[in-house]
Amino acid sequence: MTGKRYLIVNADDFGQSFGVNGGIIETHEHGIVTSASLMVRWPAAVEAANYAKNRRDFSLGLHLDLGEWAYRNETWTLLYQVVALNEAAAVGAEVSRQLAAFRKLVGRNPSHIDSHQHVHLREPVRSVVLDAAQKLNIPVRELSSQIRHCGRFYGQTAEGAPYPDGICAEALIGLLAQLQPGITELGCHPGLGEDLDTMYVRERRQEVRVLCDVRIHSTLAQMEIELRSFDAVPGIVPVIEIAAAKP
């Protein structure tokens, strides 16, 4: 795999709404999305799971959903919380519940694990998720040594201000040019419609347009970057090497 560049384009929030589902399906069938992460707690999860079941070129992971925050009136506001993030036992029970729901919906284990708003990067959620992933031999976003994660294709600043330049075709082409040899996961959030109470809504439609832009396909070919799903990446051994937890 020396020198070769492989790209997994993973769409988050699959199942959160029917509009999000539509955008992800559009960008898989007509764009560069090769993978998605399923939110099992939402009404549109059944539709999302049914779509993914028989598509072996489309890997499906678990988008662990423990809560959501929005930056409003110059402060972060809790929109909902599934479980207290500082209670390891409660987090562990909820991770188990969502994994079981995933298996019931999809009929198999997830190909990877990540989380809504990256809550798995902080303890004690981090250790709980790592333990679950090690038992399943699957990678965890930003914690698996074999797969880099790129989250810079995003249409807002850290405070939630609009940043359309982050999700234009030129920005994505620039990110592709910077890919290092090996395997990179590019995160994205495509969607159609505005059927969500969340801070990231209008940007989703723009992501759909860019992820389906013919210039992106041409750039991938010119740069000899191969699109893959989590299920079809060369060099991933059965037991994923997961980075050691930070103190």
What percent of the chain is predicted at pLDDT more than 70?
94
List the domain boundaries for the chain. Answer: 5-232
**Contact partners, residue 156, CB within 8 Å, separation at least 6:** 162, 163, 166, 199, 200, 203
pLDDT for res 74: 76
Q: How many angstroms separate the Cα of 166 from the Cα of each of 139, 208, 237, 242?
A: 26, 13, 34, 30
- Mean pLDDT (the chain) is 91
**Segment 214-231 mean pLDDT:** 96
pTM score of the predicted model = 0.93
Task: Identify the pLDDT of residue 72.
Answer: 78
pLDDT tens across 131-173, in order? Answer: 999 999 999 999 988 899 999 999 999 888 899 999 999 999 9
The DSSP bridge pattern shows strands 67-72 and 75-81 to be antiparallel
- Specify the pLDDT at position 236: 56
What is the H or E stretch that residue 203 is in? helix 202-211
Above 80 in pLDDT, residue 246?
Answer: no
CA distance 44 to 101: 13
Which homologous superfamily is 5-232 in?
Glycoside hydrolase/deacetylase (3.20.20.370)
Q: Name the residue with higher pLDDT: 56 or 7.
A: 7
3 DSSP assignment: T
What would the pLDDT profile of 97-125 be if each residue is shown by its tens digit?
Answer: 999 999 999 999 999 999 999 999 999 99
Asked if residue 113 lies in contact with residue 141, where contact means CB atoms within 8 angstroms, the answer is: yes
Among residues 67, 75, 8, the alpha carbon closest in space to that of 41 is found at 67
Statement: residue 67 has pLDDT above 70: yes
